[in-house]
Amino acid sequence: MAQELDLLITGAEIVTAADRFRADIGIQDGKIVALGTALGPARKTVDASGLLALPGGVDAHCHLDQPQGFGLRMADDFVSGSRSAACGGTTTIIPFAAQLKGQSLRAAVEDYHQRAGGKSCIDYAFHMIVVDPTPEVLEQELPALIREGYTSFKVYMTYDDLKLNDRQILNVLDVARQGGALVMVHAENSDCISWLTDRLVADGKTTPQYHAVSRPQAVEREATHRAITFSELVDVPILIVHVSGSEAIEQIRWARGRGQRIYAETCPQYLYLTAEDLGHGDYEGAKCVCSPPPRDEANQEAVWRGLAHNVFSVFSSDHAPFSYEDPHGKKLRGKEQKFQYIPNGIPGLETRLPLLFSGGVNGGRISIHQFVALTSTQPAKLYGLYPRKGSLMVGSDADISLWDPDRKVVISNTMLHHDVDYTPYEGRTVTGWPVMTFSRGELVSREFEFLGTAGKGEFLPCDKPML
């Protein structure tokens, strides 16, 4: 008799980035060991008839327990963040080990391991954020860390405490080229933003709606073009993160047309929010303050088209969890802030996949294969986790989400599992929900209930990106 499987999932239709077929899934020791019919016997069987089996989501851009200055604190750590991800069908998260000015990059990575260790219920890897590219960092630490499995890092062109100047970015890109790593670029022009901000503040325009006015598409377009130029000069691919609208998309298309390898990411906020959500003189709009800001409906359509036409390789949450009624969050010290002091970023780990599935797949804008590619397969490839993550193949980890494509759900913060006190998507109805999710064969969520175990998630050293 064949060896008994740990788990057998029967009756589901399997959907990957390339294929759709009916097969049972045999799982042993956390891995997929068989796809077929008449598998078994198994210690446990899950009947998934009527459901779709998709690779668990890979959320390649989220912020958890990231050290903040100015008395700020993120609402989610690796326990609550991973729990929320799991309940939204995500089985791998890649948050950021952020260097502080004056800190060694190695120390930042070690500190982040302390923050993550024993907490995550799903597997995780780290990107790094390079803030202080000293000769020691460029010549010693970064090359060594790349070799050890930290093969992607983010650089910022804005934010006073994070930004690099052009020459520093060129230096970091050069290290990435030599080590075969991937640089993620936050592309907004810092000086333009601060000049516009000063003018708005001088005019007494300080409510959240002016956040969008201080960061128009031109500042994103210019910085995107500049980053593309750096990529050309150094001859290394880059990935532009959180692209918000048509003007940055035009730059990316232009560069691709010239043969450059420019990758791009977008996020739910650029499909579902607009600058109108930042309010009209009230403070409630602080809940939707993120950078780049949400644009307008025409730009939402441009982003949808970009998803459909493969401008984007990755669809991430950019979950940046700051509670609203929190003296360490959006209402810093319990007070309403001028827009330039509101912490940037919004929550979205748990709603990322249902929002894209609903508007994209059920809305007829992208195929279900594109959905899997954008949310799982391509991030796994670009960040060196494929084929362990990102597909349903014999030998892959048994990270599986079972979707009911017709389930209607009204999103409300009370049903979400993060520790943020709001969701920007309150009251929206989505169609399609991941009703069961398995992380290496362990059931971590079922029907909006968290069933995982903090600490079961493993750290994943990353291979070189598949570019």
Q: Which residues bind Zn ion (CB under 5 A)?
A: 186, 318
Q: Which of residues 47-76 bind ligand URP (CB under 6 A)?
A: 63
Question: Least distance in Å: CB of 320 to ligand URP?
Answer: 4
Q: How far is CA 134 from the centre of its chain?
A: 28
Q: 396-415 as b/e, with b when 16 or more CB fall inside 10 Å?
A: bbbbbbbbbbebebebeeee
CA–CA separation, 294 and 166 (whole Å): 26
Q: Which residue is nearest to Zn ion (CB)?
A: 186
| Contact of residue 411 among Zn ion, ligand URP, none (CB under 5-8 Å per partner type) | none
- Of 425, 426, 406, 376, residue with least CA distance to 122: 376
When the beta carbons of 48 and 264 are compared against Zn ion, the nearer one is 264
SS3 303: helix
CA–CA separation, 204 and 218 (whole Å): 23
Token pair, residue 59, equals 């959320």
| Contact of residue 290 among ligand URP, Zn ion, none (CB under 5-8 Å per partner type) | ligand URP
Question: Least distance in Å: CB of 242 to Zn ion?
Answer: 6
Question: Least distance in Å: CB of 241 to Zn ion?
Answer: 5
Neighbours of 44 (CB within 10 A): 12
| Contact of residue 265 among Zn ion, ligand URP, none (CB under 5-8 Å per partner type) | none
When the beta carbons of 330 and 440 are compared against Zn ion, the nearer one is 330
When the beta carbons of 345 and 457 are compared against ligand URP, the nearer one is 345
CA–CA separation, 300 and 438 (whole Å): 32
When the beta carbons of 26 and 293 are compared against Zn ion, the nearer one is 293
Instruction: Give 138: exposed, middle or buried? Use CB within 10 Å, 0-12, 13-18, 19+.
Output: middle
**Does the footprint of ligand URP cover residue 320 (CB under 6 A)?**
yes
Q: Which of residues 226-285 bind ligand URP (CB under 6 A)?
A: 242
When the beta carbons of 208 and 345 are compared against ligand URP, the nearer one is 345
Tell me the pairing of strands 127-129 and 96-98: parallel
CA–CA separation, 392 and 260 (whole Å): 31
| Contact of residue 303 among ligand URP, Zn ion, none (CB under 5-8 Å per partner type) | none
- Residue of 216, 237, 345, 359 that binds ligand URP (CB under 6 A): 345
When the beta carbons of 182 and 402 are compared against ligand URP, the nearer one is 182
Question: Least distance in Å: CB of 136 to Zn ion?
Answer: 25
| Contact of residue 331 among Zn ion, ligand URP, none (CB under 5-8 Å per partner type) | none
Residue count, binding to ligand URP (CB under 6 A): 9
Residue type, 278: L
- Residue of 73, 119, 127, 186 that binds ligand URP (CB under 6 A): 186
Neighbours of 212 (CB within 10 A): 24
Asked whether the beta carbons of 457 and 82 are under 8 A apart, the reply is: yes
Question: Least distance in Å: CB of 248 to Zn ion?
Answer: 13
CA–CA separation, 183 and 23 (whole Å): 38
- Residue of 68, 344, 367, 413 that binds ligand URP (CB under 6 A): 344
- Residue of 59, 141, 318, 326 that binds ligand URP (CB under 6 A): 318
**Does the footprint of ligand URP cover residue 290 (CB under 6 A)?**
yes
One-character DSSP codes across 153-191: EEEESS-TTTB--HHHHHHHHHHHHHHT-EEEEE---HH
When the beta carbons of 101 and 335 are compared against Zn ion, the nearer one is 101
| Contact of residue 140 among ligand URP, Zn ion, none (CB under 5-8 Å per partner type) | none
Question: Least distance in Å: CB of 321 to ligand URP?
Answer: 10
Question: Least distance in Å: CB of 131 to ligand URP?
Answer: 12
Q: What phi and psi values does residue 443 have, to the nearest 5 degrees? A: -70, 115
When the beta carbons of 318 and 399 are compared against Zn ion, the nearer one is 318
Question: Least distance in Å: CB of 64 to Zn ion?
Answer: 11
Question: Least distance in Å: CB of 128 to ligand URP?
Answer: 14
Residue type, 63: H
Contacts of 449 (CB under 8 A, 6+ apart): 87
Q: Give the H or E element holding residue 9.
A: strand 7-10
Question: Least distance in Å: CB of 319 to ligand URP?
Answer: 9
When the beta carbons of 318 and 326 are compared against ligand URP, the nearer one is 318
Question: Least distance in Å: CB of 348 to Zn ion?
Answer: 10
Asked whether the beta carbons of 465 and 382 are under 8 A apart, the reply is: yes
Contacts of 79 (CB under 8 A, 6+ apart): 119, 120, 121, 454
| Contact of residue 375 among Zn ion, ligand URP, none (CB under 5-8 Å per partner type) | none
Residues forming the site for ligand URP (CB under 6 A): 63, 186, 242, 290-291, 318, 320, 344-345
